[in-house]
Structure 1
């Protein structure tokens, strides 16, 4: 019965899910038409909102792109890749490969979402070289670990409200990560997903007849010619380990001061800095680092072209009042106890149009904060409901799957059918955790 559900989900998505670029164009049209219909805005007003907001998230887009790039550069270091090869050797069957890639992706995504996306995809390719397993489900399992990112160390909502000077500080103050990321209810959700997501992925494994395999030869990496040098001083500099160690040690000194001496909290900038410094040190030479950067940028191409469109959608939803109306309508049913659940549901819906944790908090925070204060509810829990809603419907929204798909060589329709099953199961788990734990 479970395999039949999965089969139907895969066929549905393969038939009807368009390319992510087409998806964002359709979402733009839906947002515009909805704003005209429900907020009584004129077509020219919608076009103005869209155009004015199109470049409104450039700073945040760069920050998000750096999360992906630094995560990719760290994940592609020789040390990390050797760990992945060693881990892949533990898989003796298709089922164990599915479970193993899910666990690795979950752990890496909890640490950092960009790191998790890249490690999951690279590990899936390594497993496909060693084990005969359905490649679609293997990559989908790698992406499913992304479910936990917003409840982890790089969650943009909890890190934003824990950072001094954030845009809502005058209303809610500073909320420590001990009340969000490391709160009991959040850790319980994360642990439950760590147990349940691998099991669900294993249950979705197609039969031998229905499985789609990839030729391991197609996944082989090109020969590494980075050690070739000439007598040019420039080549010697590009292959100099001394340069990497000088800048790397300077970075470690700063991080020691930041984390240990100052005891400062996590935020997106310091996480990006940490991953970049580690990548510089572990790659060894500037040339190796820059090669990994070239590969990472290709994986981020979809983010670069699509993020402005999502900024435009966000502008339509905010400036027209559509996002506020949607959030107000959904939280209007709420009590102090059920507010996190309804916030989670509304955040999941908004995330389809605004697939950015920080951007989504900017959209929903005015309504969420007002409702939380009016009902005397737990602000930290409600904020995490927005975070989990954003993370949850990424199993339906293909935007953040783009880097994984670029690395794996697949299309969104190849994996999203499996992810749809995870959407249903994880939605139940997260709802229970936010409401009753």
Structure 2
């Protein structure tokens, strides 16, 4: 990447603040793996006195949870690989290129990628993470003078919207009614409709304000000072060309280059996809999203050989996921490990916020506690399992509706993802960047979104 002059006008206060955040993050934020390692040490040292457990007990909790995210890690790796394979197909690349041509200026590119990513994440978070990052790459190749770091950061800010959307694990768990009485320690005994959570007036209002403010905020952060814009050579974003054999093809090589193998496989896959939507409606999960990505890639690539090359290229980007996710699983194991008094570190954090709450402030403190817990338990399902038994009964005792308490947890879970590299890894892998390249901009989005969500939870 290189710096390039894009204007000489005076920087705005927001641009100077975002530049300061970016500079500080670039200097002091460690590599995502070191971030996970530091969190491991911090949780290990804090959890012992809080939960009254010995060092060896914490070691056992760490090791006991270490492999608990294996299935999820594989799913996330497949998100990166299948998303990359789909995006590298000639037809898909042409479609994204056409859409990217609608952006005429760097500011417009930042605005549109934020909006597209937010809507995609609201529909399904896995879909949104991949599509946002892929679209950002295409915009970087088409729009001259756009800051590549801010472009990828803007795509990632769409992830703020996921837990208030159609794939939000907490509102969907409430709507399913499954095991709610046990999970919420008796506070919720029957299903709560999404009309009271995702489609409640307060949630829709927060979403509307966020959908207006965050794209404009990201656009306003684009540097205007000479030398502050970091661009990327479009040639670096191009996929390596698929080589064609110069000799007569053997029977095996003819199969490898035959489009019919891909077409027949796609027919098989899309037969299931259609039947799935007929039977389940628009109920997306990671498995069906990856299934759609994979068989769309198979359909759009011209041959098995081309598909294999695209998958091999995408696989190079999964190293961070494979290395770091087990450590976060170990951190989660220590966070939820209970000592002799039945107290866990995650539970102690939630209990403290409950102790200082009133009926009016409880949703706000629930949101803030969820944001803190999310640093160490970066999983919507894990967050619900940790906080539901504490926050839901407390909310009931204070007279706060269960749906509002649940959505406060959901928003808190999504909020601090802006400065937690765990979820950024797939987008960063696709973009070829490091967490420190985007987290300065994400910090600004964190502050703005926290103000909007917090006020929304208190006022409505």
| TM-score, length basis structure 1 | 0.89
From 325, 330, 337, the counterpart of 1:312: 330
Q: Is contact 1:88–1:126 with CA below 8 Å preserved after alignment? A: yes
What is the deviation of 1:16?
0.9
CA distance in 1, matches of 2:294, 2:336: 34
In the TM superposition, what are the counterparts of 1:106-185 in structure 2 within 5 Å?
106-130=118-142, 131-163=144-176, 165=178, 172=188, 173-185=190-202
Q: Is structure 2 residue 400 aligned with structure 1 residue 349?
A: no
In structure 2, the gaps of 5 or more residues are 1-12, 339-343
Count of paired positions: 437
CA distance in 2, matches of 1:364, 1:345: 12
Q: Is structure 2 residue 27 aligned with structure 1 residue 15?
A: yes
- What SS class does the counterpart of residue 212 from structure 1 fall into? strand
What is the deviation of 1:255?
3.7
- What SS class does the counterpart of residue 153 from structure 1 fall into? coil
Q: Is contact 1:150–1:391 with CA below 8 Å preserved after alignment? A: yes
Which segment is superposed worse, 222-231 or 190-199? 222-231
In the TM superposition, what are the counterparts of 1:201-216 in structure 2 within 5 Å?
201-206=218-223, 207-216=225-234
| Residue 414 (structure 1) aligns with | 437
Q: Is structure 2 residue 398 aligned with structure 1 residue 370?
A: no
Q: Is contact 1:200–1:422 with CA below 8 Å preserved after alignment? A: yes
CA distance in 2, matches of 1:284, 1:52: 45
From 312, 319, 343, the counterpart of 1:301: 319
- What SS class does the counterpart of residue 300 from structure 1 fall into? helix
Structure 1 pair 209–329 and aligned structure 2 pair: CA distance change class (3 A)? same
| Residue 339 (structure 1) aligns with | 362
In the TM superposition, what are the counterparts of 1:228-267 in structure 2 within 5 Å?
231-261=249-279, 263=281, 265-267=283-285
| Residue 341 (structure 2) aligns with | none
What is the deviation of 1:423?
0.4
- What SS class does the counterpart of residue 311 from structure 1 fall into? helix
In structure 1, the gaps of 5 or more residues are none
> Per-residue CA shift, 1:224-279, capped at 9, x if unaligned?
33798964444444444444444433443434443334558444444443444444
| TM-score, length basis structure 2 | 0.85
Q: Is contact 1:159–1:268 with CA below 8 Å preserved after alignment? A: no
What is the deviation of 1:50?
0.8
| Residue 40 (structure 1) aligns with | 52
> Per-residue CA shift, 1:158-192, capped at 9, x if unaligned?
34444575676775444444443344333333332
What is the deviation of 1:4?
2.2
From 94, 101, 108, the counterpart of 1:82: 94
Structure number, greater radius of gyration: 2
What is the deviation of 1:405?
2.3
From 216, 221, 234, the counterpart of 1:199: 216
CA distance in 1, matches of 2:146, 2:214: 18
What is the deviation of 1:309?
0.6
